Each structure stands twice: as structure tokens, then as C-alpha cells.
Amino acid sequence: MKEKVNIAGVEFDAVRYIDVLTAVEVFVNQGHQKHMIVTPNPEMVVYSQKHEDFRKILNSASLAVPDGIGILWAAHYLSLPRSKSGFGGIIQVIGSLFQVFFKMKAIYRVLPARVTGADLLFKIVEESQKKGWRIYLLGAAPGIAGIAIDRLCKKYPKAVFSGSFAGTPAETHEDELCERINLAEPDILFVAYGSPAQEEWIHRNLHKFSSVKVAIGVGGAIDFAAGKAKRAPKLLRSLGLEWFWRLITQPRRFKRIWNATFVFVKLIFRLKRGIDS
């Protein structure tokens, strides 16, 4: 892997989907070693500023992929020469944000691609047909993971799912969940408890698994796979406007979207200008 890119204390790998699939194959074939893959987005970076333990968990992962166009923008913006004046700095940040919509190729210079947890689930399941990886889905509401498996098997008929369970990220239920997963003997575990719960759960429990080689926190990916939640149209996703789609379709997420957009941009601007929070 290339040298990591640091954004507000969170380290990212400069990878594309093909690089992640290659890494997963290496991880699965590495015997008894266990690996966590995280998919930090702008909201998670903002959260990590006041939660050092969470930031340490993200940085302890074997692979951290940039989930969110905002992460690519931040990597690009932070790489630009620092403007000497405050006004020039404001013009620079506004100009770089316009590049997200009108000169998108520019923001792929530092981090080459956006790698989302939702898409990663589908791509790993597809790849598992050739590699024989056994997959387990943990999380989402009761029954949703089972529906997701049924739909995924129709699309990827050679994929092997060793089981699924909703469960809870509560520490009091961890031993029961780990025993259930160990009995299923999966190679890859997808955990959909939302962030930061899913990353914290994996960090606490990954060492307890006998067969799991790779564990990945994927947020709402199981809901998407089950058809219980709709992703933004491809055009909006390609323009980096998935957050806008979520705001329209799920207005209750306003605070989270605010943190992932305006608060995140402010954080990165102040970081580049050397302004203390």
C-alpha cells in the first residue's frame, strides 16, 4: 500500500476498489492473522476529534478506505499550498469546493477513489464467488440481514453465506454473538451497527473469532442490500451529492449531515489555516 494520507488525525489508504479486493484476498489467506477494515467518512472524522479512543481504533485498522467525497476533497485541499492571507485562504477553500462539482478530476489527485461501505459489500460478495469466501452478516433490524442474503444470492448465486443475525452492539451480548459467529465459521464478517458502535464492537471482539480473517463495518449497507433503504441515484453519487439525497429523504438525519458537510469543511479549513478549535 502507498503511504497513508492523514486527515485531521485519521489515516487513510489511497486505494481503489480493486486494491481493497486484493488486500482482502491477502488477508483471508494469511492464516491466523485477523484484520479490520474501516470506512471513515467526514462525520466519523468530526466525531474522532473529541473521541481519541475512537480515532485510535480507526488508525489501528489494517485498511482505512475513504468513504465520502468530502474525504477526497479534504485530501486535495490540504495538499494545496497554504495561502498567506486569511482572505486568500477563504477564496482557496471556496475554489476547492467548486472543484468537487466542476473539476472533479482534480480532487482525485491525492486519494484516487471514493470507496463506500455499501458498494464494498456488493463487490466483496461478488468476488467471493471466485474465491470461495464464506460471509456472515451481523446487524441491521431483525430479519433484514436474511432478506439481504436472499437478494444477494439471486444476484450472486455462487456466493456462500454462513449465516446472519441482527443482535446488538451491547457489551453484555458479545459472548453470545461471538459464539454464534464462531459456529458459522465465516471468513469475512460484515457488521452493520452504525458508527462508532460497529468499529468499537469489532475492535473489542475480533480476536475472539476462530475463523474470521476480515471484519468490516458497513453502516447501512445491509439495509441497502435488503432493499429496505434506497441509495441516491447514480448521478447524485457521482457528483458527491449523496448527502443531499439523504437530507431530502431522511430529514431526521439533519444533524449528522450538518456535521458531515459544514462542520467538516470548517474543521479542515481551520486545520489548514493553523487555527485552534
How do residues 118-143 score in pLDDT, each as one tens digit?
899 999 999 999 999 999 999 999 99
DSSP helix/strand/coil, 81: coil
Asked if residue 133 lies in contact with residue 160, where contact means CB atoms within 8 angstroms, the answer is: yes
- Dihedral-angle region of residue 272 (phi above 0 means left; psi in -120 to 50 means alpha; beta otherwise): alpha
Tens digits of per-residue pLDDT, 48-59? Answer: 999 999 999 999
Residue ranges of alpha helices (H) inside the chain are 17-28, 42-48, 52-60, 69-79, 86-102, 117-131, 144-155, 174-184, 197-205, 221-226, 234-238, 242-249, 254-258, 264-273
pLDDT at 276: 58
The 8-class DSSP code of residue 260 comes to: I
pLDDT at 31: 76
CA distance 107 to 71: 10
Which is nearest to 167 in space by CA: 188, 146, 196? 146
Report residues of the chain scoring pLDDT below 70: 1-2, 231-232, 235, 238-241, 243-247, 276-277
pLDDT at 51: 98
pLDDT at 240: 66
Asked if residue 135 lies in contact with residue 165, where contact means CB atoms within 8 angstroms, the answer is: no
User: Please, which residues bridge with residue 163 across strands?
Assistant: 136
- For the chain, how many residues are written? 277
pLDDT at 214: 98
pLDDT at 274: 85
pLDDT at 88: 82
